Amino acid sequence: MEVKLLTHTPEPERITVAAALLCYQKGTPQEAYEKAGSEKLKNRLFNELVKQGHGSVLEHANFTFGISGMSRSCSHQLVRHRMGAFNQQSQRYVHVGDYDYFVIPPSLDEEKFKDIVKQIVDYYNNEVKNLKDKGKSLEQSQEDARFIIPNAGKTNVIWTTNLRNLIHVSHYRLCNRSQWEIRKLMSLVKKEMQNKFPIIAQYLTPKCDFYLYCDEGQRTCGRALTKEKIASLIKKG
């Protein structure tokens, strides 16, 4: 899998701080934006805004990621976070009958998996040919034959999201209880952000790192104390 930050709002921390300044001070939006250009003020206020949960101002900053080589299983999880724009590679217009088109979970037997993949790919390619011979177009043939392709089939996605949602997705998808592939995806997203926006990247963490407790109850992985355990310890003194 590969993740690339394709484009983003210029100076995302600055526009976030400018939006906050506008809410609490006299003056025009242009004046708030100029004031937010101060590095010292910008860094201090940005951190305060995130930590205090002022989410609406974070929605002015947008980021677009190019994601290559993720599975359809992983993309299905990503698009559940609906506060964003998604475009995904079509299995109707793009031929997917290649032996390396699949993501293999590390917990499964690779050799057996590849044997099954070969059968699937061979069936797909044969059916595309058979349907074309029967008079269907290439697109029609591929859109019917693709029904054999499993969740492991690779896909490419362009994802645009605002900063508020990016932090939210990181909180849930970097959690140890999240599925391994989307954890890998969000780890790569964080790595991309660290290269250009380290102040922002520090907040792309599991939610327990941000809130300093786990809200998963009995499903906790044990990385952090649950709210119930903290309350019990406080009660005991």
Q: Which of 82, 173, 177, 219 is catalytic?
A: 173
State how far Cα 124 lies from the chain centre: 30
Please tell me the distance from the alpha carbon of residue 221 to that of residue 214, in angstroms, as a whole number.
Answer: 9
Decide if 219 is catalytic.
Answer: no
Please, are residues 97 and 127 in contact by the beta-carbon 8 Å criterion?
Answer: no
Please tell me the distance from the alpha carbon of residue 147 to that of residue 1, in angstroms, as a whole number.
Answer: 23
Coil, helix or strand at residue 197 = coil
Handedness of CA 118, 119, 123, 126 (dihedral sign): positive
- In this structure, which amino acid lies at residue 47? N
Please tell me the distance from the alpha carbon of residue 219 to that of residue 175, in angstroms, as a whole number.
Answer: 12
Angle (deg, nearest 10), helices 110-133 and 138-145: 140
Residue 134 CB neighbours (<10 A): 9
Each as own residue / partner, the long-range contacts of residues 136-140 (CB below 8 Å, 24 or more positions apart, any chain) are: 139/92, 139/93
Please, are residues 139 and 92 in contact by the beta-carbon 8 Å criterion?
Answer: yes
Active-site residue set: 173
